């Protein structure tokens, strides 16, 4: 039977697979420590870095549908983009035939950080890299895996501002990639979209809970139409992002003709959903939402970091423009 969406079985599997997140990755942890590298080995032990790689290669042997669902959960819990770096790095190494390197990444021996380069020769933005041994660089040219030392001239940006360590840096001129591929662009888009979708979903949940709890004018604020409509708009963003993600992930998993179009759409939809929902969530929380103690701003900031790793919404739109819709004029 043709699949179009994640199945109930896949959803349940990932639910059980990600149960440790609740305890180990409560978003509030970021008020104290901005880096998740203390949990790196844990991530490796749970098999989270190789969910869509074959078991023979040291992976879990599932597919991109499961991986997208996993990273949606990671988004909800604001798990470091390093985990995405690890998964994509292992895949890059594996696809380039370096099974040993892939295995080391999957084992957690070589922590990976993620960086974005806008154009060849341009600087990179490096995320959560202090303990990283490898660096996965995303650029319009594809995905390339470098030794961490290849990223030089690191200038730290104030970590407290973005609730995660950020650096602006440069790729050393003579740096050679361990592995590089142009083939996993759709995977990259899906994992970014998944995390952004998770952020949109988590902030919707936060907003609805708070709207039921918070009383003003003698009633829960969720009974006021303005708040209701904000929440509805957030829910529509989530529904669109989730279904688009699921649809796109199945298209990638089944290698359908339109899989790159669907994955690029998922990223554009999820990015906008995350920005819309994180901002509305702050507004609904009022003064509390603006305080550092509240989790609300953590989601907003992470959305910006993920969008930066995607190259920015403008770049995501440009990537979508390069694809052909199945409903394009020439499709008939």
Partner 1 sequence: MMPEMMPEMMDESPDDFRARARRWLRDNVPTEHPPVDGPESRAYALAWQQRQFAGGWAGLTWPRAYGGRELPVLQQIAWFEEYARAHAPSTHNALFVGMNHAGPTLIACGSDEQKAFHLPKIMQGDVIWCQGFSEPNSGSDLASLRTRGEVQGDELVINGQKIWSSYADIADYQELLIRTDPASSRHHGLSWVICPMDAPGITVRPIKTMAGPAKFAEVFYDNVRIPLANIVGGLNNGWKTAMATLSFERGTASLALQISLSQRVEELIAACDDVALGETLMDLRADAAALRAMSYQFAIKSESGPVGSEGSMIRLYFAELAQRVARVAIDIFGIAAPEVLAVHGLGYDYFDAYSETIAGGTAEIQRNIIAERVLGLPRGSR
Q: Binders of partner 1 among 205-224, rule CB under 8 A? A: 208, 211-212, 215-224
Does 2 help bind a copy of itself (rule: CB under 8 A)?
no
Does 254 help bind partner 1 (rule: CB under 8 A)?
no
Angle CA 95–52–235, to nearest 5 = 125
* Pick 144 or 269: Cβ nearer partner 1: 269
- For 252, how many CA atoms within 13 A lie in the half-sphere containing its CB? 31
Surface-to-core class of residue 146, CB atoms within 10 Å of its CB (0-12 exposed, 13-18 middle, 19+ buried): buried
257: Cβ contacts below 8 Å, ≥ 6 apart? 326
Min dist CB 253 to partner 1, Å, is 14
d(C-alpha 42, C-alpha 189), whole Å: 25
Does 259 help bind partner 1 (rule: CB under 8 A)?
no
Angular region, 47: left φ>0, alpha ψ -120 to 50, beta rest: left
- For partner 1, the binding residues in 159-188 under the rule CB under 8 A are 160-162, 166, 168
Binding flags for partner 1, 278-297, as an x/- string (CB under 8 A): -x--xx--xx-xxxxxx-xx
Among 176, 226, 318, 326, binds a copy of itself (CB under 8 A): 226
DSSP result, 22-85: HHHT-GGGGGT-S--GGGHHHHHHTTTT-TTS-GGGTS----HHHHHHHHHHHHHTT--HHHHH
- For a copy of itself, the binding residues in 227-256 under the rule CB under 8 A are 229
* Pick 7 or 232: Cβ nearer a copy of itself: 232
Stretch (H or E) spanning 73:
helix 64-76
Partner touching 322 among a copy of itself, partner 1, none, CB below 5 to 8 Å by kind: none
Partner touching 232 among partner 1, a copy of itself, none, CB below 5 to 8 Å by kind: partner 1
Min dist CB 203 to a copy of itself, Å, is 22
* Pick 179 or 231: Cβ nearer a copy of itself: 231
* Pick 104 or 265: Cβ nearer partner 1: 265
- For 56, how many CA atoms within 13 A lie in the half-sphere containing its CB? 1
| 209: its two tokens | 């809970």
Interface residue list for a copy of itself (CB under 8 A): 224-226, 229
């Amino acid at each position: 039977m043709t699949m179009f969406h994640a199945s109930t079985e896949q959803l349940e599997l990932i639910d059980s697979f990600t149960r440790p997140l609740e305890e180990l990755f409560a978003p509030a942890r970021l008020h104290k420590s901005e880096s998740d590298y203390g949990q790196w080995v844990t991530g490796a032990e749970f098999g989270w870095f190789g969910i869509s790689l074959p078991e023979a290669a040291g992976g879990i042997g599932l597919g991109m549908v499961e991986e997208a669902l996993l990273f949606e959960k990671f988004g909800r819990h604001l798990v470091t983009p390093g985990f995405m770096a690890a998964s994509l790095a292992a895949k890059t190494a594996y696809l380039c035939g370096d099974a040993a390197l892939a295995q080391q990444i999957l084992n957690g021996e070589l922590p990976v950080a993620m960086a974005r380069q806008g154009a060849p020769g341009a600087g990179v933005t490096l995320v959560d890299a202090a303990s990283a041994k490898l660096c996965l660089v995303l650029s319009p040219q594809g995905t390339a895996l470098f030794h961490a030392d290849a990223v030089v001239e690191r200038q730290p940006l104030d970590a407290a501002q973005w609730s995660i360590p950020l650096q602006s840096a440069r790729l050393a001129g003579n740096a050679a990639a361990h592995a590089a591929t142009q083939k996993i662009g759709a995977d990259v888009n899906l994992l970014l979209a998944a995390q952004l979708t998770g952020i949109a979903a988590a902030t919707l949940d936060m907003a609805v809970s708070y709207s039921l709890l918070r009383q003003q004018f003698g009633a829960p604020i969720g009974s006021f139409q303005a708040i209701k409509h904000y929440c509805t708009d957030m829910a529509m963003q989530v529904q669109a992002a989730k279904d688009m993600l699921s649809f796109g992930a199945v298209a990638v998993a089944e290698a359908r003709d339109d899989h790159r179009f669907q994955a690029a759409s998922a990223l554009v939809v999820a990015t906008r959903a995350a920005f819309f929902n994180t901002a509305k969530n702050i507004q609904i929380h009022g003064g509390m939402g603006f305080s550092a103690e509240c989790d609300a701003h953590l989601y907003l900031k992470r959305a910006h970091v993920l969008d930066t790793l995607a190259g920015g919404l403008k770049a995501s739109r440009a990537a979508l423009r390069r694809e052909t819709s199945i409903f394009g004029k020439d499709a008939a």
